[in-house]
């Protein structure tokens, strides 16, 4: 199946599906469509900020807000590394020799994932967290720390699926797909948060800049583009950072010695704003 997908125009298909999902429908029809989607993917409708009848399109429902009280930010968030998403924490581990584990037995180069950014070396022997957002999940991404947005990089690429089946079969899959990297600095040192596009993610966006995903359909049409922010842009712990316009993956990198991680069971469900680790830097 993976070989057949090479011949599918994944970026064009994802763009088209995204535009179809944005079509505004009559209220009875959009309520019916959302109901089918919610049933198929077991969406927790009771968590949505609005009832299904108040959304104007399926795309608007994809990027729904949650009820404000559902994801409280811990009062001691300044000392914690928070989950940036609702989803599944697939893996966490240590970066060694510039390599990151994609799944057991398959790795990829950290520098390649980050578009060969000169800051990539700073994460050697640091910790990474790999999250997966399914179609049923809340699709906004939040800042794992309070601090400053220092730089961002948009890296064009393909839109392969990022489910576990594909990760086990395609080497360096995350490095093939479109990415948007946000560099955050604070009391945890430097962090890199990578939003990875995937099939049917028609676009991704961030609140602090005008980057838009899947605007260049050919993976080789342009090179990575970086922007430095001077002065840096301030962001609070748990504040919204960006949005996937369907499900995908987020990979978070920390410098060595920045956090004290208590290794637990993976994969496991996580919710944005919950504690991932405690800070180890003063």
> So which residues are the catalytic ones?
86, 142, 248
Which spans in 87-194 are helix H?
110-113, 164-167, 173-176
The CA R_g of the chain, rounded to the nearest whole Å, is: 18
Per the listing, tokens 């730089």 go with: 151
Rounded Cα–Cα distance for residues 182 and 175 (Å):
16
Give yes or no for a contact between 117 and 226, defined as CB atoms under 8 angstroms apart.
Answer: yes
Q: Which residue has the tokens 């996580």?
A: 270
Phi, psi of 226 (to 5 degrees): -115, 150
Helix, coil or strand: residue 244: strand
d(CA 242, CA 196): 12
CB 92 within 8 A of CB 268: no
Q: Which of 276, 270, 275 is nearest to 133 (CA)?
A: 270
């Amino acid at each position: 199946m993976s070989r057949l997908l090479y011949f599918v125009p994944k970026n064009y298909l994802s763009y088209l599906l995204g535009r179809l999902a944005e079509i505004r429908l009559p209220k009875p029809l959009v309520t019916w469509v959302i109901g089918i989607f919610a049933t198929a993917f077991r969406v927790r409708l009771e968590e949505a900020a609005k009832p299904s009848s108040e959304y104007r399109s399926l795309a608007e429902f994809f990027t729904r807000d949650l009820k404000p009280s559902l994801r409280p930010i811990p009062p001691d968030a300044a000392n914690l590394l928070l989950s940036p998403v609702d989803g599944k924490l697939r893996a966490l581990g240590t970066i060694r020799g510039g390599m990151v584990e994609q799944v057991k037995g398959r790795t990829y180069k950290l520098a390649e994932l980050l578009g060969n950014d000169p800051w990539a070396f700073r994460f050697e022997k640091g910790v990474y967290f790999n999250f997966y957002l399914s179609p049923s999940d809340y699709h906004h991404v939040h800042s794992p720390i309070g601090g400053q947005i220092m730089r961002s990089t948009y890296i064009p690429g393909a839109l392969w699926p990022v489910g576990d089946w594909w990760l086990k079969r395609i080497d360096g899959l995350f490095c093939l797909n479109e990415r948007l990297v946000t560099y955050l600095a604070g009391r945890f040192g430097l962090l890199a948060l990578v939003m990875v596009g995937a099939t049917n993610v028609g676009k991704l966006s961030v609140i602090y800049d005008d980057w838009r995903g899947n605007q260049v359909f050919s993976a080789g049409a342009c090179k990575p583009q970086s922007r430095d922010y001077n002065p840096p842009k301030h962001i609070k712990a748990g504040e919204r950072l960006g949005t996937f316009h369907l499900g995908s993956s987020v990979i978070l990198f920390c410098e060595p010695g920045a956090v004290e991680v208590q290794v637990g069971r993976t994969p496991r469900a996580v919710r944005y704003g919950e504690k991932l680790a405690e800070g180890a830097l003063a």
